[in-house]
Amino acid sequence: MAINLTKGQKIDLIKSSGESLINFCVGVNWGAIETKGFLGLSKNVTEVDLDLSCVLIDDQNKLCDHLYSPLYKVEVLQQFGLPKGKLLSVDGALKHTGDDLAGDSGGDDGLDNEIITVDLSKVDAKVNQIFFFLNNAGKEDFSQIPYAKIRMYEGTPTKVVSEFAAYNVSAEAQYVNKRSIIMGKLYKRNGEWKFSAIGDPTDDTFLGQTIHKIVESYL
């Protein structure tokens, strides 16, 4: 049975069999905003473009690698001292499936919209923290989005074999006017990887601000 995480909870990456969780997916699933139209006879759908990203931090608390959308404008990233987006980490341990620009319409389809696959055996030895975060490329805030969930599971981007842990980010008061969430991190302690559910909404309106906040306030 999957672990239902709560904000601030920390877990070991140990499966029920006693084996360590090494190869898995970190996925985020979210819904488009649906409202009733004239006299309730029609349905209006507002697509939601969330971006799942991650940054890798080394043992000197320095940003050493990243995965975020290549669609972000280079000239804007440069204002934050950040390079162009990419979907594969330098060590080949993490791979992003790419942008989903809309979210689910017509209800939850059970599949994640954006996924980062992780192979901890390939992560560069100098890396000891990996932060996962969400930014909304649109103008909606998280309180309007019907559902958003981050989960860790064994399988592939198109098939869930076994869900290990899930963390729900629902439409709550704390997300009003917030368009970014620092969702959680993988971190290494005494040579073993663990996961911490963070779940902090921020006032950021751009990915560069969120990365700066992680480096300045979460290390």
Percentage helix, strand, coil for the chain under 3-state DSSP, each rounded to 5: 10, 45, 40
Q: Check whether 212 has a pLDDT greater than 80.
A: yes
Measured distance CA(98)–CA(139) in Å, rounded: 21
Measured distance CA(140)–CA(31) in Å, rounded: 12
Q: Check whether 175 has a pLDDT greater than 70.
A: yes
Q: What is the per-residue pLDDT for 2?
A: 78
Range 138-166 average pLDDT? 85
Range 25-36 average pLDDT? 83
Question: Mean pLDDT in the chain?
Answer: 88
Q: Check whether 107 has a pLDDT greater than 80.
A: no
Range 158-170 average pLDDT? 85
- Homologous superfamily in CATH for domain 3-38+58-217: sav2460 like domains (2.60.60.30)
Q: Quick one: pLDDT band at residue 80, thresholds 50, 70, 90? A: very high
- Element spanning 207, H or E: helix 207-217
Q: Check whether 41 has a pLDDT greater than 90.
A: no
Query: Higher model confidence: residue 120 or residue 28?
Result: 120
Range 101-108 average pLDDT? 65
Which residue reads 């799942």 in tokens?
52
3 state DSSP class of 171: coil
Range 93-121 average pLDDT? 82
Query: Higher model confidence: residue 52 or residue 1?
Result: 52
Q: Check whether 35 has a pLDDT greater than 90.
A: no
Measured distance CA(90)–CA(112) in Å, rounded: 24
